Structure 1
Amino acid sequence: MIHWHQPCSEVLDYSRPPFARWFVGGETNLCYNALDRHIAARGDQKALVWISTEVGESRTFTYKQLLAEVNRAAAMLQSLGVKKGERVILYLPMIPEACFAILACARLGAVHSVVFGGFAAASLAARIDDAKPALMITADGGSRMGKTVLYKSLVDEALKLARHPPQKLLIFKRGLDYAMPVVQGRDVDWKALQKDFANAELACAWLESNEPSYILYTSGTTGQPKGVQRDVGGYAVALAASMKNIFCGEAGETMFTTSDIGWVVGHSYIIYAPLIAGMTTIMYEGVPIRPDAGIWWKIVQDHQVDVMFSAPTAIRVLKKQDPAYLKKYDVSSLKHLFLAGEPLDEPTHVWITESLGRPVIDHYWQTETGWPLLSAQPGVEKTRLKMGSPSF
C-alpha cells in the first residue's frame, strides 16, 4: 500500500501518551507515494482533471505530466530558498498549480500550510505569524459565482499586518487582476520563473515517519486558530487504508471530492489519497448550482466517477433544486457517495439515497484526525446503513 525507503524499527511508540509515534525509524515521502511509484504501471493514466465552471476551462494531467509539473514547481521553490522542514504558506484558489505546489513541498520535505481563500487579511496574517514561512504562494485572483475575488491585494494587506512576513511571494497570474501591484524584490512571477526549470528533476527527500508533512489551521471560530501538524508515515498509511477499506477506490478508477484544498478533506481526498491509490482525482473550481444544479452529476457522467465525496450542506442545496437535473445524467458509474463535514439529517439522507439509487455513507471526522474516525467500511464488511447517522 505504501513504499518505504527505509522500513520502520517500531510500529508504535506510545511511551508519552497521548502522543503516539507511528512507524518509528521508517522513511518515506508522500509525493513519491502519490506519483513516482506509479509511473511504470500507469504513467499515461489521467492523474488530475481540473474543471472550472468559474472561468470555463479544464485541464488534464497524466501521472507523467503531473510528476513533471511537480518537479518543476519543486525546483522553483528550491531556487527561492525553501529547504526541508521550512514552512510554505499557500493562499490559492482551486487551480492545478495549487496541487503542484502542495506536492512540490512534500517532495522537498518542506511543510505546506494551505489557508482557505475565503479568509480575510487579519486571519491570514495570524497564520503567517504562527507558521513563520520561508515562502508564500498566491494567485492574482480567484472566482466565486462568476465574480472575481482578488487574492493578491488581500495578501499584500496581510503581509503588512504580519510580524513575520516571508521575504518572497510567488504569484500565479490568471489574468483576473490586470491592475495587480507588484512589490519589487519580493514578488516573483510563477510563469516567468518556471521557464528556468522546464526539465527539472529533483529526488525526493526521504523523511522519518514522524517528521511533519503539513500544518492546517482550524477555523478559529471559538478562539485563536490552532495549527494541526500532520506526520508523514502514519498519514500515508491511514489514507491508503481508508481508500481500500472505506472508500473502496481502486487504481485506475476516478474520485470526485467536491471540497476545497483549504480544508482537510481537500488535503486528504483531493490531493493525497486518490493519487496514493493510483486513481484519477477531479479538482473542481465552482459551486454545485452553476451553470445549473446538474453540473456535479454531469461531471460524474462525463468522467465515469466511481467514488464521490461531498458535504451534507451541498446536498441540502441541491435538494431545493429541480429534481430533473439529477435525473438528466447517467450516474451508474458511482459505487457510492460519501458525506461528511456537518450533521446529515435523515430526510436529506433518504432523499439523496433514493434519488441516486446508490449507497450514501455518512461518516465523521475532523481536521485534527486527517481521515475518517466513524464510518461504515464497505471494503471490509457490507453493513446496513442507518439514515441520518455516521454509523450502521
Structure 2
Amino acid sequence: MSSAQLEQHHLDLQQLQQVFEPPAAIQSRAHVTSIEAYRDMYRLSVSDPNKFWRQIASEFYWHSKPDGAEEAPILDYNFDLSKGGIYVRWFKGWRTNICYNALDRHVLAGRGDRVAFYWEGNDPEDRTSITYAELLRQVCRFANVLKSNGVKKGDRVAIYMPMVLELVVAMLACARIGAVHSIVFGGFSAGSLADRIINAKCHILITCDGNWRGTKLLSLKSIADKAMSICIEEGNPVVTCLVVSHVKRPRFGSDEAGGDSHSSKPGFRPAKDCPVEMLAGRDVWWHEAMAKEDISDDCQPEWLEAEDPLFMLYTSGSTGKPKGVLHTVGGYMVYSATTFKYSFDYH
C-alpha cells in the first residue's frame, strides 16, 4: 500500500468514527433523547431485567394478573439441561390480548380517526389507508367470520397472501379470538405451502386470487389449490379456504363502474387473466363472507395467558425440513412493540 493509499485509509477510518448529531428539534422530542439516556436504559436492562421490563410492560393493557404479580419475577428461564427442560417464560399468569392492545385501546383513547395503516400496491398510484376505528371494525367482522367457520382458541389458521390490507385484518382477527396463525410467504410453491399447513395441522386457509410482483402475475389461488390437494393426500384436508379478490378488483381510486384503463396492462389492477376456481363447500370469497347480515361488527377479545401461542413462523427449509418457531402472546407483544417504538422513534 502506497503512502497516499495509507493516508486515505486513515482518513476513511476517521470518517467512520465521526458522530452525527440529530437535529435538536428531533432530539428534544425523541423517546431516547441522548446517548447517555440510552446507556442508562441499557444498564438497567442488564442489571435488573425484571425492573426494566416491568416498566416497559406497564405501557400495555393487561386484563388481569395473578396475586403477587407485582413482586414476582416477570421473567423465568432455564438453559441448563441438568436442571430440566429448556424454557423461557414471560409474564406468567398475566392475561391480555395483542389485538386489543393494537386497536381497541387506541380507539377508546379517542384515536379512532387516526390512520393505523398505509397501503401502497404494485402500482404506486394504487394506494389507500385505514383508520384504527375502521380496522377494528373489519377485524371484528372477520373474527366473527372465522368463528362462524368453527375456528376457536388454539386452532391453527394458515395465511398465504401478498402484502394487502386483508393480511393485517386476518392476523389481528386470529389474535383476537386466540387462534394461532401461520403466515406462509406468498412466493412459496404449492409443496412448500402444503408442508407448512400439514405440519401446523391447519384446517383453515386464507389466500388471495393473485398478486402482481412487478409485471409478473402470480395466481395464488391456483397454487393454493395444488397445496390443498397435497394436504388431502397426506390426511390433513383444508376444510375452509377464504379467498380475497385482490387483482381482479379495481385499484383504489379508479372508476369501478366505468372500468379501469390499466386492466390489460401487466402489473396493474384489475387483472383480466387470473383464473380462479372455487370449490363448492370449501372455498368462500372473503367479501361475500364479510357482507353476510349475521356477521357482527362486535367481537369481544379472548383474554389469553401471556404464554399462550400467538403465531407460528417457519424457517425457509433451505437446509432441511422447515421448522416452525412458536411465538407467544405477552413476550412477543411487549418486545416487538418496544423495538418498533425506540428504533423508529414512533409516537
Q: TM-score, structure 2 length as denominator?
A: 0.69
Q: Does 1:14 align with 2:77?
A: yes
1:193 alignment partner, one of 286, 289, 309:
289
The aligned counterpart of 1:204 is 301
The equivalent residue for 2:47 is none
CA contact (8 A) 2:144 2:295 kept: no
- d(CA) in 2 for partners of 1:103, 1:208: 17
Structure 2, unaligned runs of 5 or more = 1-58, 79-83, 249-270
Unaligned 5+ runs, structure 1 = 251-392
Within a 5 Å distance, the mapping from 1:94-173 to structure 2 comes to: 94-162=163-231, 163=234, 164-173=236-245
Q: Is 1:25 aligned to residue 93 of structure 2? A: yes
- Aligned to 2:287, the other structure's residue is in SS state helix
Query: Residue by residue, what CA displacement relative to the aligned partner does 1:51-99 show, whole Å, maximum 9, x if unpaired?
Result: 1134842121111011011111111111111111100000011110111
Alignment of 1:257-272 (within 5 A): none
Q: CA deviation at 1:105?
A: 0.3
Post-superposition shift, 1:161? 1.3
Number of paired residues? 250
Q: What residue number does 1:183 align with? A: 279
Partner of residue 161 from structure 2, selected from 82, 92, 96: 92
What is the alpha-carbon distance in structure 2 between the residues aligned to residue 119 and residue 243 of structure 1?
A: 28
Decide whether the 8 Å contact of 2:145 with 2:295 is kept in 1: no
Indicate the residue corresponding to 2:22 in structure 1: none
Aligned to 1:35, what secondary structure does the other structure show? helix
Q: Which amino acid aligns with 1:165?
A: P
Q: What SS is found at the alignment partner of 1:84?
A: coil
Q: Quick one: percent identity of the two aligned structures?
A: 44
Deviation at 1:200, TM superposition (A): 1.9
CA contact (8 A) 1:132 1:165 kept: no
User: Is the CA contact (8 Å cut-off) linking 1:2 and 1:240 kept in structure 2?
Assistant: no
Distance 1:76 1:129 in 2: 23
**How many Å apart are 1:198 and its aligned residue?**
6.0
Deviation of residue 114 (structure 1)?
A: 0.5
Deviation at 1:2, TM superposition (A): 1.1
Q: Which amino acid aligns with 2:75?
A: L
- Return the letter of the residue paired with 1:103: L
Task: After superposition, give the CA deviation of every residue in 1:312-351 in whole Å (9 maximum; x if it has no partner).
Answer: xxxxxxxxxxxxxxxxxxxxxxxxxxxxxxxxxxxxxxxx
Larger radius of gyration: 2
Q: 1:235 aligns with which of 304, 317, 332?
A: 332
CA distance in 2, matches of 1:97, 1:240: 21
- Could you tell me which amino acid in structure 1 is paired with residue 150 of structure 2? G
Report the Cα offset of residue 147 of structure 1: 2.0
CA pair 248-55 structure 1, distance change in 2 beyond 3 A = closer
Give 1:102 shift: 0.4
**What's the Cα RMSD here?**
1.6
Tell me the secondary structure at the aligned position of residue 171 of structure 1: strand
Name the residue aligned to 2:259: none
Kindly state the Cα deviation for residue 241 of structure 1 after the two structures are TM-superposed.
2.3
Deviation for aligned residue 1:41: 2.9
CA distance in 2, matches of 1:153, 1:104: 25
The structure whose residues are more often strand, as a share, is: 1
